[in-house]
Amino acid sequence: MTVGRTPSVVQNSGQVLPAGHEPANLGDILERVLDRGIVIAGDIRVSLLDIELLTLKLRLVIASVDTARQIGIDWWEHDPWLSSRARPPVEPGPRDPEEVEASRRPRAAARAEREERDEYDG
């Protein structure tokens, strides 16, 4: 879903901002038309909050939760848009310590795997 054409890339060596190019990156367009722009209550009421693709998949793709959290940015934790809908409800956990430990292990493994994948400098 990423479109390769980038209208202008200023590397550190730099070049002039070209005018009049249409930004064609789909991700850039989606984050703007879905997340910004004026909100006017239309007659057709479709809450974007109810769209699974947007909340669970696309929204998480747009807002890089992992990256942001790693560099200490966590405002979305307080963003009702994200925190109330995008995260699965917390189930009451098992109380037995061994069960807690057992349930934690796969998650820790998944986390380690994710970190492995996320490394960009290793």
Partner 1 sequence: MSTTAEPTPTTPGAGTGVWLHGVVAGDTPPAPAGITGIAGTPVRTVAAAGLAAVVSDAPLTEYGEEALRRNLEDLAWLERAARAHHAVVDVLSRAGAVVPARLATVHRDDGRVARVLVERHDELAGTLARLTGREEWGVKGYAVPGATPRADEPAGAGGGAGAAYLRRRKAQLTAREEGQRIAADAAAAVHTALAGYAVTARRHAPQDRRLSGAPTPMVLNGAYLVDRDRLDGFAALVRELGDRHPEIRLEPTGPWPPYSFVAEPSAEPAWA
Dist CA 99 CA 72 (whole Å): 31
Burial class (CB in 10 A: 0-12, 13-18, 19+), 54: buried
CB 89, min distance to partner 1, A = 21
**3-class DSSP state of 116:** helix
Fill in the DSSP letter of residue 60.
H
Total chain residues near partner 1 (CB under 8 A): 70
Scanning 42-50, 89-97, 103-111 for contacts with partner 1 by CB under 8 A, the matching segment is 42-50
Residues that bind partner 1 (CB under 8 A): 1-2, 4, 6-17, 19-20, 22-23, 25-40, 42-46, 48, 50-54, 58, 60-68, 70-73, 75-76, 78-79, 115, 118-122
